[in-house]
Structure 1
Amino acid sequence: MQLNESLTKLETFRDDTELQFSVVYGPPKIKCRNPKEHILLILDSSFNPPHWGHYTLIERAIESYGQEPNVEVHVLLLLSVNNADKGEKPAAFDKRIDMMYLLSKTLKDEFQNLIPTVALCKSARFVDKSSDVRKNLFEIGKIVYLLGFDTITRVLDPKYYLPKTLKEAMGEFMLHTEFFCLTRGEEGKNDSQDIVNQGKYVEDISNGACEPTIPKEWGSKIKIEVNQNEYCSISSSSIRKDLMKRQYRTVENKLPYRILEYIRVNDEKAKSSIFI
């Protein structure tokens, strides 16, 4: 894929009312050959912009799930173009696709046997996204969504599924899906107790303390690990604030060099920040 192809691929996808999912980079289908167990790690994010926090989440998940010799791990970077909470601004979707592609190249540098997939979807809910992924990319095997702790609490908040119960809405989905989370906050600072409480959230689910709202068997489907301190406080919104002022040096340690250079070049072309 060439970076200048992203806009064309995006427009084609949007214009086709029949399409709900489209691979823009990587293999059109992930072939799951026996006898290995195949696991698809999905980072579903706004990528606005992709940063070392995103990379670390993927890296930690690969290390966690890919230790066994009979396991083959795949990675999907997924962008929903119909996100109800976050619109297309401040960075246009084609620019984000370019940056997702550059993130995938950064992953490939470290994990040379990995061929990450970059894809678009039109669904907003995890249940529907998984259905699209199963239909179009990854028919069998385990799906693992990579999330921050705040996101997992929202995913399991029953108010988003009314009038259905959480179990009615997500029961089938949870049979073949897991969540991998990194904690928010830093160990050894004021956040230490909060990190302990985040781990207890999963323990409470497993012990049945959240029933009948959240079935206790779902606790085994959530893996939570303590985040690395140096990346705990990275946020896309704070990075954008600096980039809008073209303070590139301020964010040099927050996002991969390829992505920062891409932003610099496109800012120069536009004579303005791509995040305005």
Structure 2
Amino acid sequence: MPQPSASPPDPADKMAAAEVSFFSKALAGFAKSNSKFEVVCTISRRHVLPTPFPASNISPTPTTASSLPSPLVAPSRQRSQIHNLVILDSSFNPPTRAHMKLATSALVDVRSPLRQPDTPYLSTRLLLLLSVNNADKAPKPASFEQRLTLMLALARDTHVELAALDDPARPLLDVAIDIGLTSEPYFHNKSNAIAVSPFYARPSFPSASVDRPTPDQIFLLGYDTVIRIFDPKYYPKTESPTIPEGLPADATPMQIALTPLMRRARLRVTTRPDDQWGDEAAQQAWVADKVDALGGPTEQWASKIELGAGDSSTQGVSSTVAREASQAGDTEKLSQLVGPEVLARLATLKPYDA
């Protein structure tokens, strides 16, 4: 009796397996390198949307086009100088529409001619950063290679969102999206590892500007993360510390650790009103009244922090809620919490199934 023929493998399953394998090898290579920071993948708009890409032709599932190049290649450094590096550092467990909104709103603001009227084309990149040594969270339930695969899906969703917001005649939002790994658990060390990495360094050619050896860093954070950054418990006293130039000899361990970060970076913070931290006004007041005192009289840390209310469309959206919806098999609710590409990968990988 003839046996029924096996059904052909699902293309989505094959692609997801290839992505997990790619990131598994990237993680192994990163661990062997003893590096503190590495970009493992770069996703350009051309990897996601066909060219030309007028807004009227944008598809909700653009990555199904077989003619698009694969983003699973070793990233190459940008040939021109990078001026702004927008950094979204998270556990991405899983990445949600709130993550995507943080990224897109920051890029719209940074690339706006109103923000930089004289030079609206200053080069900008987005870095999705995953720490494999998180100070507060263990790597569960999704594995790191699964999270990186979901971050790739987030990058695709973000490109579609940016293209829909962009002006095809003057595409300010066509930015490269990097996926990076760091072994550093704390923000000031992550910032330094990125700053000293050759990947974002000023290109070494004669016409390159010398006033910006590395990009300005713009970290996208929630208010709860800012509270942790300025918590003294993360900065124990050390013997013979290297005190940054301009700080007094009696600088606190926090000032010694955070001053380089606050001199090179800006913190773009989404307020999170709740019973513990108060409403938005209370959070604004805490930054205005406390942060400068923590930094000392010479640094003016509060001026480097930009607070803003979260978007109403992502209220109640969190990775915890998304995990619960995924575990419950509630696809309808999950589709409201994550982008379509992330949703498709969650359906294939099932990282949160019991």
Please give the TM-score of this superposition, normalised by the length of structure 1.
0.85
Instruction: Identify if the C-alpha distance between structure 1 residues 111 and 250 changes in structure 2 by more than 3 Å, giving closer, same or farther.
Output: closer
CA distance in 2, matches of 1:116, 1:38: 14
CA distance in 2, matches of 1:185, 1:109: 30
Aligned to 1:253: 336
Instruction: Identify if the C-alpha distance between structure 1 residues 250 and 76 changes in structure 2 by more than 3 Å, giving closer, same or farther.
Output: same
Q: Does the CA-based 8 Å contact 2:38-2:182 persist in structure 1?
A: yes
User: By how many angstroms is 1:88 displaced?
Assistant: 1.8
Q: Deviations over 1:93-132 (max 9, x none)?
A: 1110001011111122233511100011111111221222
Instruction: Identify if the C-alpha distance between structure 1 residues 150 and 31 changes in structure 2 by more than 3 Å, giving closer, same or farther.
Output: farther
Structure 2 gaps, min length 5: 1-14, 43-74, 164-173, 202-213, 238-251
CA distance in 1, matches of 2:294, 2:89: 28
Aligned to 1:19: 35
Aligned to 1:222: 305
Aligned to 1:178: 266
Given the alignment of the two structures, is residue 162 of structure 1 paired with residue 162 of structure 2, yes or no?
no
Structure 1 gaps, min length 5: 268-272
User: By how many angstroms is 1:181 displaced?
Assistant: 0.7
Given the alignment of the two structures, is residue 41 of structure 1 paired with residue 92 of structure 2, yes or no?
no
Q: SS at the partner of 2:260?
A: helix
Match of 2:106 among 61, 70, 79: 61
CA distance in 2, matches of 1:64, 1:205: 27
User: By how many angstroms is 1:65 displaced?
Assistant: 1.7
The code of the aligned residue for 2:220 comes to L
Equivalent residue runs for 1:1-276 within 5 Å: 3=19, 4-14=21-31, 16-26=32-42, 27-33=75-81, 38-67=83-112, 68=116, 69-112=120-163, 113-136=174-197, 137-139=199-201, 140-163=214-237, 164-185=252-273, 194-205=279-290, 210-211=293-294, 217-267=300-350, 273-274=351-352, 276=354
The code of the aligned residue for 1:91 comes to A
Which contiguous aligned blocks of 4+ residues in structure 1 show a shift greater than 6 angstroms? 212-216
Q: Deviations over 1:123-147 (max 9, x none)?
A: 1111221222123222212001110
User: By how many angstroms is 1:248 displaced?
Assistant: 1.8
Aligned to 1:270: none
Q: Does the CA-based 8 Å contact 1:6-1:98 persist in structure 2?
A: yes
The code of the aligned residue for 2:162 comes to F
CA distance in 1, matches of 2:91, 2:23: 16
Percentage of identical aligned residues:
28
Please tell me whether Structure 1 or Structure 2 has the larger radius of gyration of its CA atoms: 2
Instruction: Identify if the C-alpha distance between structure 1 residues 215 and 158 changes in structure 2 by more than 3 Å, giving closer, same or farther.
Output: farther
CA distance in 2, matches of 1:141, 1:213: 25
